[in-house]
Amino acid sequence: MSSEHSVYDTPVKSLTGVGPVKLKALEALGVHRLADLLGILPRSYQLRERLPMDELKPGMQAMVVGQVLRLKLMGSPKAQRLEIMLKDGTGYIKLVFFQPKFVAYLRNIEPMTVLTAIGQVNSFNAMLQMAHPKVVLGDKSEELQGVWPIYPELKNLAPSDFNRLIESAFNLIKEKPPQENFSPDILKKLNLMPLLESYQAIHQPEASALHTLLDPAHHPAFRRMAFEELYALQLRLQKHRNAQQQAAAPQVAAVDAKLLFAEIMPFAPTNAQARVINEIVGDLARPIPMLRLLQGDVGSGKTAVAASAARHMSKAGYQTAIMAPTEILAEQHYQLFIKLFGPEKIARLQGSLKSKERRLAIERLKSGEAKIIIGTHALISDDVEFHKLGLCIIDEQHRFGVDQRTQLRNKGKSGLRLPHVLAMTATPIPRSLALTAYGDFALSVIDELPPGRTPISTHILQGEPTKNILLLAEKCVRNNEQAYIIYPLVEESEKLDLLDAEAGFRHLEGHFGGTQVALIHGRMNAAEKDAAMQRFSRGDARFLVSTTVIEVGVDVPNATCMMIIHPERFGLSQLHQLRGRVGRGSRKSACYLISDKLFLSGEAYRRLTIMEKTQNGFEIAAEDLAIRGPGDFLGTRQSGLPIFHHCDLVKHADLIEPARELAIAELP
Ligand code: ADP
Ligand code: MG
């Protein structure tokens, strides 16, 4: 049904007027087929009506009506140029023609003849002129008036040439009208125009349509353009998903989620955890590879879900690899898994290992002795081989690129067999965006926090940061609490005049003594970071001063106070992640957003108040998406997100799910 051989696929070189030069210009613009040409949309519209000549200005598109004052044929016979001077009682304009066809057609026009001319106004030697305008005999301004599409500037392609190409594209389409892909019912339900009508409404609009065209996000023709992109993307994703399902995968008989959880965890799963474990275990029981994205707010207990899945695979004799984005996180998972499973079956692999330890770990993966392997991207090094890799778990998946995910998975490839993949993320992605960036994944959501959590009270503090930090730190000492103090930069930057983590560390050290304060920043090596982290998580150090290296996943339940310095420098989702480091035990926790008042604009302040108002990660993510747009929201590493020309994932969010459903129906 998809229009693979429709007229829209005609190469542009078969359009009249496309010679080698124009073809090159078009190809440089990425225009190869008719659909690409019609996909270059006007950036705005202008009303086309007759203008008196004294209102003409260089650069504008205009329609004029006037009498021929005189005609001049110039140049050599081989390169003739015809100049027609036109007047309308308010002024004069010179029309210039170079193309022999037009020169021949117009050279015998009588003076006093009335002409209508449409084209771009230029100024030459202080005289207004139009170079090869469209001309018609007589005053045709009534018939020709309408709405003028204004296209973006195109390199090596004049606006008049582009207009002519669009015109000849429509001429070609009229010869072989293409079939519409979707039924009238569907189009009506989604408020979309049929494709051909959409192209016409956009490129050759009716005069009466001007006001609706100026609101493209809601116009059914522009919506159709957005929908075409979303649908094409979903078809691609669906094809990819179907191809994946041709592969075989280890099949492990399903078990009861609650019992599985109870085998390793000291507490009962939340309902959401149990539901998600059931979804995963259900996937693992099928003979095709799982591709599942697990989203759960910070602290919702994703690690326990991952541990249950690993346990399930290991009992059936398969290995599980868990890849985390930072050494701190990998180390923390490693320590936890040793506690849960005992050391015999667990291995770790990260960049900081000594070569002997590393050799030993690799040996244990290869022999199959290690059933659960936890590491950083060191897991995808060339010399790493698994014995029987059945499941890849990618923690904080948004920190990795698609390639790294694929590389890890391919470590377990044998013949047609691929391991299962579970990707986890604590940055809740609004469903619309998840279906776009992860359309080939099945989605699971943990939408419930473990019991006994108290809400984290959040406060914006403005004024001298050092003073506020000190007051809060003294309160921590009085109440015997632990606190994080997070800075946005590693080093002092004179330009931004921001306090840095090291200065903050020294300041606290001066007041409370060195044993009370630990420091972590990106310039430290893994062993130094680990030592500092250990001091804090054991409770030896009361304060942990850090840059955002601790943003993801760190779990120290005794810490109850979070201070974020210069919060306006962070994205909302990042602030939410940082805040999620506290509120993990049963004691009441607080988060302070500590800003120098001078830095807070109205907009920044409004953004931060969202943090005060809600603790729901999905709400925060939706705000963050609206403020930053999808690209920034997902981050540059998310190569999963395609470039859209017409679709705005926020404004056209309602079209995403239908595009997916229709693609699934097309490619079941
Ligand atoms: P996430 O990775 O989703 O941010 P974690 O897996 O680190 O969250 O869990 C956060 C905390 O909640 C941990 O201290 C963990 O032991 C605890 N936890 C997880 N699941 C439960 C549960 N079902 N009941 C009680 N506590 C839980
Ligand atoms: Mg986690």
The predicted pLDDT at position 87 comes to 96
Residue 508: pLDDT over 80: yes
- Residue 567 pLDDT more than 50? yes
Buried b (16+ CB within 10 A) or exposed e, 353-392: beeeebeebbebbeeeebbbbbbbbbbbeeebebbebbbb
Instruction: Supply φ then ψ for residue 293, to 5 degrees.
Output: -105, 120
Among the ranges given (513-522, 578-587, 630-639), the one the predictor scored with the smallest mean pLDDT: 630-639
Tell me what pLDDT residue 301 has.
Answer: 92
* CB atoms inside a 10 Å sphere around CB 637: 15
- The answer to whether residue 497 scores a pLDDT higher than 50 is no
Q: How confident is the model at residue 549 (pLDDT cuts 50, 70, 90)?
A: low
d(CA 78, CA 100): 9
Question: Who's near 285: CB < 8 A, 6+ residues apart?
Answer: 251, 252, 253, 254
Is the pLDDT higher at 317 or at 569?
A: 317
Q: Which of residues 565 and 454 earns the better pLDDT score?
A: 565
Mean pLDDT along residues 410-428: 88
Strand partners, 92: 87
Long-range contacts of 601-609 (CB under 8 A, 24+ apart): 601/568, 604/568, 605/460, 607/568, 607/572, 608/460, 608/567, 608/568, 608/575, 609/460
Q: How far is the CA of 461 from the centre of ligand 2 (A)?
A: 28
For residue 339, pLDDT over 70 is answered with yes
Which protein residue's CA is at the shortest distance from atom 18 of ligand 1? 301
Q: Which ligand is nearest to the CA of 396?
A: 2
Measured by CA distance, the residue closest to atom 11 of ligand 1 is 299
Dist. CA 101 → ligand 2 center (Å): 72
Residue pair 635/397 in contact by the 8 Å Cβ criterion: no
Cβ(26)–Cβ(37) below 8 Å: yes
pLDDT band at 499 (very low <50, low <70, confident <90, very high): low
Query: Helix axis angle, 302-315 relative to 327-341, nearest 10°?
Result: 60
> Which tokens belong to 227?
């929908």
Pocket test for ligand 1, best of 261, 264, 267, 554 (most atoms within 8 A of CB): 267
Q: Which ligand is nearest to the CA of 325?
A: 2
pLDDT at 80: 87
Judge whether residue 413 has pLDDT over 80.
yes
What is residue 214's predicted lDDT score, i.e. its pLDDT? 78
d(CA 330, CA 352): 11
Residue 304: per-residue pLDDT: 96
**SS3 of 96, please?**
strand
CA–CA–CA angle 650, 618, 554 (5° rounding): 125
pLDDT of residue 201: 93
pLDDT the model gives residue 637: 42
Q: What angle do CA 353, 354, 357 make, to 5 degrees?
A: 80
Mutate to test the pocket of ligand 1, among 303, 339, 422 (most ligand atoms within 8 A of CB): 303
For residue 349, give the 3-state DSSP assignment: strand
Rounded to whole angstroms, the Cα distance separating 221 from 217 reads: 9
**pLDDT tens for residues 56-85?**
999 888 899 999 999 999 888 788 889 999
- What pLDDT, on a 0 to 100 scale, did the predictor assign at position 2? 44
What whole-number distance in Å separates Cα of residue 595 and Cα of residue 523?
A: 24
279-293, 392-406, 480-494 — which is least confidently predicted?
Answer: 480-494
Ligand 2 centre to CA of 332 (Å) is: 10
Model pLDDT for residues 151-169, shown as the tens digit of each residue = 888 888 888 789 889 999 9
Nearest CA to ligand 1 atom 24: 450
Average pLDDT for residues 325-353, to the nearest whole number?
91
- Res 33: pLDDT: 93
Tell which wins on pLDDT, 320 or 60. Answer: 320
Please give the pLDDT value at position 550. Answer: 66
Quote the pLDDT of residue 52: 95
Spatial CB neighbours of 121, under 8 Å, sequence gap ≥ 6: 56, 57, 58, 59, 60, 61, 62, 93, 128, 129, 130
Report pLDDT for 267.
Answer: 94
Summarize the confidence of residues 382-407 as an average pLDDT.
88
pLDDT of residue 552: 58
Mean pLDDT along residues 381-391: 93
Residue 145 banded pLDDT, cuts 50, 70, 90: confident
pLDDT at residue 243, rounded to an integer: 83
Residue 23 bridge partners (DSSP): none
> Please, which pLDDT band fits residue 638 given cuts at 50, 70 and 90?
very low
Beta bridge partners, 484, equal: 544, 562
| Gap from CA of 558 to ligand 1 centroid (Å) | 13
For the chain, give percent helix, strand, coil, nearest 5: 45, 20, 35
Q: How far is CA 650 from CA 202, 576, 617, 633, in A?
A: 22, 21, 18, 12
Is a pLDDT exceeding 90 seen at residue 494?
no
Nearest CA to ligand 1 atom 10: 299
In Å, what is the CA distance from 182 to each residue of 73, 435, 665?
55, 21, 12
**Residue 404, amino acid:** Q
Index of the ligand 1 atom closest to the CA of residue 303 = 6
Mean pLDDT of 184-208: 93
Among 108, 150, 158, 110, which residue's Cα sits nearest to residue 133?
Answer: 158
Residue 18 tokens, joined:
């496309």
Listed residue (630, 270, 257, 567) closest to 435, CA to CA: 630
Mean pLDDT to the nearest integer, 489-515? 73
322 pLDDT more than 80: yes
Name the strand (E) or helix (H) holding 48.
strand 44-48
Classify each residue of 3-33 as buried b or exposed e, where b means 16 or more C-beta atoms within 10 Å of its C-beta. Answer: eeebbbebebeebeebeeebbebbeebebee
Please identify, by atom number, the ligand 1 atom nearest to the C-alpha of residue 297.
3
Q: Ligand 1 — pocket residues by CB below 6 A?
A: 267, 269-270, 273, 296, 298-304, 426, 450, 553, 555, 557, 584
The top-scoring range by mean pLDDT among 118-122, 240-244, 280-284 is: 280-284
Quote the tokens at residue 272: 């959401």
pLDDT of 631: 67
Q: What is the predicted pLDDT for the residue at 3?
A: 42
Average pLDDT, the chain: 88
Candidate from 300, 554, 576 with most ligand 1 atoms within 8 A of CB, to mutate: 300
